[in-house]
Amino acid sequence: MREKVAKLGVTREKDFMYYVKDGGVWKVQRKQPGVPKGRPEKVADGGFQMDTDYIYFVDKDGDVARAKRAVGGQKRKKTARAKKKSARKARKTKAKGGKKKAAKKKKRR
């Protein structure tokens, strides 16, 4: 769930990306092919302290809102690709161990 932190009423422009940093709202030009990187510009000062337990963003009304940060995330099921990869890795380590033992036996003789 989100809650409004500061009512700023920032009007958004289409070619800019807006973000919250150090209690203020900043904008930077969106990256486009062939155009050099734009410099960030401070749009408004929110005058609030940011808490690391929350994610701060500019909502559709142009106000600063925050939402509880998800810590740790959610466990995901292993995909078939990941299962194959782990099986392949196990086989490689098993094969490497066998070669080392054979090499040691040859050296002893």
C-alpha to C-alpha distance for 29 and 70, rounded to whole angstroms: 28
Q: What is the DSSP string of 64-92?
A: EEEEEPPSS----PPPHHHHHHHHHHHHH
pLDDT tens digits along 63-76? 999 999 887 777 77
Angle value at C-alpha 73, between 72 and 77, nearest 5 degrees: 120
What would the two tokens of residue 23 be?
């209690």
Cβ proximity of 67 and 50 under 8 Å: no
pLDDT tens digits along 40-50? 999 999 888 89
Q: pTM of the predicted model, to two decimals? A: 0.59
